[in-house]
Amino acid sequence: MLSQSKDTIRSALKPIAKRIVGINPNTFTLLGLITGILSGVSFALHSRSGSIDQIDPVIAGGFFILVSGFFDVIDGAVAREKNRVTKFGGVLDSIYDRYGDAAIIVGAMYGGLTELPIPPHIPWFWGAIALIGSFMVSYTRTRAESAGVISGVISIGIAERAERMLIIAIGSFFGIVNWAIFIVAIIAHITVLQRIIVARKVLK
């Protein structure tokens, strides 16, 4: 969904990309990972007894997610402006994204931000389900592509990475990261199912 609009967003960012073509695109990919990790650290520092004169670490976590998303888009825009789009860059981007996903969700789990008043009453349960789902969304696409499914065909679903990260960021701003993680946990696995159905239609 949102991920399919990346090219449109990158076109809108062309003026910015043209001004920073002196920077290696992989640098922005790395900055995306770093800010993703900072988001996870912020979530991990969450405390219910926070002082009003300090920046809420949960809100900071959401802010870092948005910044990470910006870097995730600008790296491709700069690569296109410099004519340096490479397969390795794509591989590196995907690897960093998975580390970023893990940092954000594990940070939320550590900070007690995945507890919900619904069964099972295990603090980390829905965080774990969301993390597994996030990884499986990526793995399902990669596995289907290696089996011969065209990338544009299999890159579908209601919860690609952009959607998942945006939901968590919004949840952080409204103080409902736990419910945001719950939503991500559900829709990530729905996306996996959608991709399995598409792969079956193409490969059977």
Query: Please, are residues 184 and 168 in contact by the beta-carbon 8 Å criterion?
Result: yes
Domain boundaries defined on the chain: 3-203
pTM (whole model) above 0.95:
no
| 123-143 per-residue burial string, b: 16 or more CB within 10 A, e: under 16 | ebbbbbbbbebbbbbbebbee
Indicate if 97 belongs to the active site.
Answer: yes
Determine the Cα–Cα distance for residues 183 and 1; give it in Å rounded to an integer.
16
pLDDT for 55 equals 64
Given 72, 93, 97, 101, the catalytic residue: 97
Local confidence pLDDT in tens for the 204 residues of the chain? 665 566 676 667 677 767 776 788 889 999 999 999 999 999 999 865 454 445 699 999 999 999 999 999 888 888 877 777 888 988 999 999 999 999 999 999 999 999 999 988 899 999 999 999 999 999 999 999 999 999 888 888 999 999 999 999 999 999 999 999 999 999 999 999 999 999 999 998
What architecture is domain 3-203? Up-down Bundle (1.20)
pLDDT for 138 equals 95
DSSP-derived letter for residue 23 is: S
